[in-house]
Amino acid sequence: MRLAALVLLGAALVPAGEFARELKAYRGKTPKIDGVLSKGEYDDATAFTGVLDWTPQFSRTTDPKDLALKGWVKHDGKRLYFAFEITDDVLYGIDTPRWLPDNNPKVHELTREGFPWFGDEMELLINATNKWTGKENAAGNGQSWQMVCNLTKSRKGGVGVGGILEGEPRSNEAAWNTYQKWILDGAMDCAAKRSGDPQAKPRKYVVEWSVAFDPCLEVEPGKFYSTALGDRKMGLNIALGDLDEKERVNDNPYHFNHEDWWAGHPGTRTNLKDFGTLWIMTGPKR
């Protein structure tokens, strides 16, 4: 009995990814996904901050006036919710022209040739199965996925309207089709809007994200998370991308000022094994 208990305890302590960072999503009230943080809307959510201690893919963020965020996560028994309030000194396509990188003039096409993540953006990556075999990235289905919420373009609103876009792997047509179906059906939704005084510096914007347990959190083939399964851990990563003036940065082909990741290491942060852990808790925050 003692050995069995130790085995169960050890299993409980194993992270959903190998990166030692975790968040807990407790049950709370259903928020309105409108890009506005209403008073008290996320009081029942777990709060977190970034990005000074996050993993930089490009240059490290050292000044919160350059880039910072406040984040929240919770669920309502049917859907998972994230909210982010981002501070950014320059907003691409708003404070700057919608300039293009040298390596892809089609970045803003809402096709598989476009770059959904090109701009000021958030990325959400989940491994619902909490399984991996090696260095694989998201499959692009309910078991593991990587989606994008961009401040100035979206699948439903087009270029100029912030919201959700198909993420990676764009090269996989089945993944692209799955992501697009989720967006059009409303299984996954995101609102992205500027907030505060538009003349104030630094700038601010808000991202709110909604993820339906079914079909987006497939814990086993054909089986989707529900609170009947109890507290459950999944792999999680979050990215914040910051694009400013083109001439400001020349150390990467996309001229990104920053791309900061909640978990993982440079170059491998999209590997399922390099994710952190999201716990979906059946009860409310206490």
Give the number of other Cβ atoms within 10 Å of residue 122's Cβ. 25
Q: Which residue has the tokens 């000021």?
A: 120
Cβ-based burial of 239 (10 A; exposed 0-12, middle 13-18, buried ≥19): buried
Coil vs helix vs strand at 280? strand
Phi, psi of 173 (to 5 degrees): -60, -35
CA distances from 62 to 39, 46, 205 (A): 30, 25, 20
Q: What percent of the chain has pLDDT over 90?
A: 92
Mean pLDDT, range 251-255, rounded to an integer = 93
Classified by CATH at the fold level, domain 21-284 comes out as Immunoglobulin-like (2.60.40)
Domain boundaries, the chain: 21-284
Give the number of other Cβ atoms within 10 Å of residue 244's Cβ. 21
pLDDT at residue number 15: 53
Phi, psi of 97 (to 5 degrees): -65, 165
Going by pLDDT thresholds of 50, 70 and 90, the confidence category of residue 12 is: very low
Q: Which residues contact 100 (CB under 8 A, 6 or more apart)?
A: 107, 108
User: Is the CB of residue 55 less than 8 Å from the CB of residue 260?
Assistant: yes
Q: What is the mean pLDDT of the chain?
A: 94
Q: Which of 151, 178, 152, 156 is nearest to 167 (CA)?
A: 178
User: Is the CB of residue 259 less than 8 Å from the CB of residue 56?
Assistant: yes
Summarize pLDDT for 16-71 with one digit per residue, the tens.
688 999 999 999 999 999 999 999 999 999 999 999 999 999 999 999 999 999 99
